[in-house]
Homo-oligomer: A and B are copies of this chain.
Amino acid sequence: METALKAIAAPRRRQILRLVRDHELSAGEIALHFDVTRPAVSQDLTLLKEAGLLDERRNGTKRLYRVRPAGLKDLRAFLEEFWDPRLDALKLEAEREEKRKDGNDD
């Protein structure tokens, strides 16, 4: 969770998340959007992946990334609780709800 919070604290990483919010993009395509070198972006991707915010899929020599909704959801939930800890009860209920629906990713 710590990692995720730090991950979204950097503008470029937030931008990356936005880029792969709805469609997959390859590492190279992502890198094209920024003026740092490709390895720099690659490191951001690794960090985001470790934070559980990104999914990676390999296709041939390419690596395709996209947002991992569950990760985003967890981060959101953590923050919701942070703003107001009294939401605990509601949160637990929502989780029970989630389990019932099974595999829904918000």
Q: Which residues of A contact B (CB under 8 A)?
A: 2, 5-6, 8-9, 11, 14, 18, 72, 76, 79, 82-83, 85
Decide if A76 touches B72 in the complex (CB within 8 Å). no
* A14-B89 Cα distance, complex, nearest whole Å: 21
Interface majority SS on A: helix, strand, loop or mixed? Answer: helix
Q: Which of B11, B18, B72, B82 contacts A14 (CB 8 A)?
A: B82
Interface centre among A2, A5, A11, A14 (most CB of B within 10 A): A5
* A2-B6 Cα distance, complex, nearest whole Å: 11
Q: Enumerate chain B residues within 8 angstroms of A14, measured Cβ to Cβ.
A: 82
Q: Which of B5, B6, B83 contacts A72 (CB 8 A)?
A: B83
What are the 5 A-B residue pairs with the smallest beta carbon separation, nearest first? A5-B9, A9-B9, A6-B9, A76-B83, A79-B79
Nearest CB of B to A86, in Å: 11
* Between-chain CB contacts (< 8 Å), 14 pairs: A2-B9, A2-B11, A5-B8, A5-B9, A6-B9, A8-B82, A9-B9, A14-B82, A18-B82, A18-B85, A72-B83, A76-B79, A76-B83, A79-B79
